[in-house]
Amino acid sequence: MTAIKENSTRNYNKQVSATSCPVTYVMNKIGGHWKPIILYHLSNGSKRYSELKRAIPQITEKMLIQHLKQLQEDDLVLRTAEPIVPPFVTYSLTPAGAKLQPVLNAMAIWGLNDMEERR
């Protein structure tokens, strides 16, 4: 999953910003084209991998699992796999992921309002 070059200025600055600026810290967790959209779809209850895929048609499978993995690592999303075949894997929000909802809502409200005003 894309190895990072630890000793680049870019990466260094990112670390610094993330630890010193809580807003950047949040954006590192929910940034990326698809993460907010994934979180949105999971906010209406847990979904299977294939359900998410169908719900977000433009996303490629690579991007979908990549972001799902990152969201798991950040403890925002929980993966539950039933050991049957064909596989049955569901994704749901963790408590931390659920606590993020008001923040996402606040952002969405500002965004919608701003889009409205600039029309």
Partner DNA sequence: ATAGTTACATACTTTGGGGTAAGTACTTGT
Partner DNA sequence: ACAAGTACTTACCCCAAAGTATGTAACTAT
Task: Choose which of 22, 85, 118, 119 interacts with DNA (CB under 7 A).
Answer: 85
Task: Choose which of 30, 39, 49, 77 interacts with DNA (CB under 7 A).
Answer: 49
Q: Which two tokens stand for residue 112?
A: 């919608």
Torsion of CA 42, 17, 73, 36, to 10 degrees: 10
DSSP calls for 58-115:
TS-HHHHHHHHHHHHHTTSEEEEEES-SS-EEEEEE-HHHHHTHHHHHHHHHHHHHHH
Residue 62 touches which member of DNA, its own copies, none, C-beta under 5-8 Å by kind: DNA
C-beta closer to DNA: residue 31 or 95: 31
Give the strand order in the sheet containing 77-82.
Answer: 47-48, 88-93, 77-82
Shortest Å distance, C-beta 107 to DNA: 16
C-beta closer to DNA: residue 16 or 109: 16
Q: Does 13 bind DNA (CB under 7 A)?
A: yes
Where do contacts with its own copies occur on this chain (CB under 8 A)?
Answer: 13-14, 16-17, 21-27, 29-31, 33-34, 36-37, 40, 58, 75, 96, 99-100, 102-104, 106-115, 117-118
Q: How far apart are CA 53 and CA 62, in angstroms?
A: 11
Residue 79 touches which member of its own copies, DNA, none, C-beta under 5-8 Å by kind: DNA
